[in-house]
Amino acid sequence: MSSETGHSDLWAALSSQTADLAEQAGKAVVAIQAEHRVAASGVHWRAGVVVTAAHLVRRAEQVSVLLPGGTTATGTLGGRDATTDLAIVKIKGENNLAILPSTASPRLGEFVLAVARSGRGELSASAGIVSRVGGRWQTWRGGEVDRLLRPDVRLYPGQSGSALVNGRGELLGVNSVVLARESVITLPVETVDRVVDELLERGHIAQPYLGIAIQPVPLPPEWQRTAATSQEHGLLVMHVQPDGPAKKAGITLGDVIVSLDGEAVDGLRGLHQQLTKRHTGQGITVKLLRSGSVLESKIELGDRPRR
């Protein structure tokens, strides 16, 4: 057998395996019409629960779910988390949807396939490799993601919410195009599981909440000495939400916050980052300046009110 024939056979085998991989993954992938000009893709994550892209299901409570085989089911929006761009849709009855085996161990450089379903019902796919695997990170919207997973694949309109599978047909996560500029991010299995659990339990993701409006202000040298800090700015309390966690803890208008649990905070971003490390119901010690004196107050973090 010539080398050309051998190469041809190799490519034919690889092509056939890739097609089989897309077909198998497609048995768990749906399209979701949710009053958006573009249909979203979705992955059947658990029995009767589909995970999709939150930015494509903003406006609807009931949605149309296009299943493999061309049948349509009515789904109910079970909750969405804009910070991770994940949402869940619940569907009832027999739907013949598969649940893909998953893995929490993506490998840099391994072959991957993004499998989506269009609003017309056809499967679509995009192939590439895992181009980056990293540690825990926070999205620009404040969502906590368990690991950075960036595939070198291209997503077309309607492919957000698609499945990313490896060469063994294992599900690595759900794809999004809104969490990083001009590149695809895959929400890994661990993150999707955590978000799905919380959305099923409460319908939203609890966000730690102090109930105050603040702005950075310079700390004069005498205030720095009083607070025993070298930081140049603190956070001036401009508004206290009635019946909010801060109000209940005695925080008042004009207080200047300098630290949370001993960690200095001198800007809005720093405060937000510290809050996202904590959970609702957790107590946090706030060090503040009031009328030239240093005080400490214990605040029990609330859950940010929903509109």
Domains with residue ranges and CATH for the chain: 3-202 (2.40.10.120), 208-303 (2.30.42.10)
Nearest one of 178, 197, 199, 198 to 78, comparing CA atoms: 199
pLDDT of res. 234 = 92
pLDDT of res. 4 = 63
pLDDT of res. 143 = 86
pLDDT of res. 204 = 84
pLDDT of res. 307 = 59
pLDDT of res. 5 = 65
- Cβ atoms of 235 and 260 closer than 8 Å: no
* C-beta neighbour count of 18 within 10 angstroms: 15
pTM attached to this predicted model? 0.79
In DSSP notation, 62-127 reads EEEEEPTTS-EEEEEEEEEETTTTEEEEEE-S--------B-S---TT-EEEEEEE-TTS-EEEEE
Token pair of 50 as six digits: 């589909």
CA distance to 19, 121, 122, 171, per residue, from 126 (Å): 11, 16, 14, 15
pLDDT of res. 34 = 86
pLDDT digits (tens, 9 = 90+) for 166-200: 999 999 999 999 998 778 999 999 999 999 999 99
pLDDT of res. 279 = 82
pLDDT of res. 173 = 98
Q: Which residues of the chain have pLDDT under 50?
A: none
Residue owning tokens 């804009």:
82
